[in-house]
A and B are shown apart, each in its own frame.
Chain A
Amino acid sequence: MADRSILGLFQEAEPAADAMDGLAQAGFEAGTFDVLTGTPYPEGAFGEHVPQHRLFRFPAFGAIIGFTTAILLTAGTQIAFPMVTGGKPILSLFAMIIIVYEMTMLSAVIATVIGIIFESRLPNMNPGAYDERITEGWIGVVISVESTRAQEAESVLKTAGALEIKHAS
Chain B
Amino acid sequence: MATNSALAGQATAPESHAGHGSDAGHVVLRPADVKTTLIASTTAGARGFKRWSIVLGVLTIVGIAGIVLKAVQSLDDQTEWGYTAAIAAFLLTVGGGAPLVAVAPVLAKANWVRPLTRLSAAFSLMGVVTIAIMVPLVAVLPPLVTEGARRRSIWFESPDLTPHVMIFLAMGTLLLAGLGLFYTSAMPDFAAMRDHSTGWRRNVGKSLARGWVGSTVQWRTLRMRIGMFGTFYFLVLIYTHFVFTSDFAMGVVPGWRDAIFPMYHSMSSIQAGVAVTIIAAWAARRYLGLQDYLRLDQFWSLGRLLFATSLLWVYFFFSAFIVFWYGRSLADIAWVDMFIRGPMIWAFIPGMFMSFLLPWWWLIWNRVRTSVNGPTIGAVIVLFGLLLDRMRIYVSAWSVPPEQIHERYLHTIPDTVWPDTFDYMIIVGALSAAALVMLLIFRVIPIVSIWQTQEYQLLSKPVKYLRGHGVLVAKPD
> Which residues on A are within 8 Å of B, measured CB to CB?
34-43, 45, 48-51, 53, 55-56, 59, 77-78, 81, 83, 85-86, 88, 92, 95, 98-99, 101-102, 105-106, 108-110, 112-113, 116, 119-125, 127-128, 130, 132, 134-137, 140, 142
Check B156 against A106 for contact (C-beta < 8 Å). no
> Which residues on B are within 8 Å of A, measured CB to CB?
1, 30-32, 35-36, 154-159, 162, 166, 169-170, 172-173, 176-177, 180, 184, 188, 191-192, 195-196, 210-225, 228-229, 232, 235-236, 239, 243, 450-451, 454-455, 458-459, 474, 476-477
Q: Select one of A45, A50, A86, A127 contacting B213, CB under 8 A.
A: A127
A124–B211 CA distance with the chains assembled, in angstroms: 5
How distant is B218 from chain A, measured CB to nearest CB, in Å? 6
Check A122 against B210 for contact (C-beta < 8 Å). yes
Give the nearest-CB partner of B159 in chain A: A77
A36–B218 CA distance with the chains assembled, in angstroms: 10
Chain B contacts for A43, CB-based, 8 A = 216, 220, 476
Chain B contacts for A86, CB-based, 8 A = 156
Check A51 against B177 for contact (C-beta < 8 Å). no
Chain B contacts for A134, CB-based, 8 A = 195, 213-214
If A38-B214, A53-B220 touch, whether A116 touches B184 (CB-CB below 8 Å) is: yes
Q: Name the residue in A81, A112, A127 with the highest tally of chain B Cβ atoms < 10 Å from its Cβ.
A: A112
- Total number of A-B contacts with CB less than 8 angstroms? 168
27 intermolecular pairs with C-beta atoms under 8 Å apart: A34-B217, A37-B214, A39-B214, A39-B454, A41-B458, A42-B476, A51-B217, A53-B221, A85-B157, A99-B162, A101-B239, A102-B243, A105-B173, A112-B232, A113-B180, A120-B218, A120-B225, A122-B211, A124-B211, A127-B213, A134-B195, A135-B196, A135-B214, A135-B450, A136-B31, A136-B192, A142-B215
A59–B220 CA distance with the chains assembled, in angstroms: 17
Closest 4 CB pairs of A and B: A124-B211, A137-B31, A42-B476, A132-B195
Chain B contacts for A108, CB-based, 8 A = 232
Check B166 against A102 for contact (C-beta < 8 Å). yes
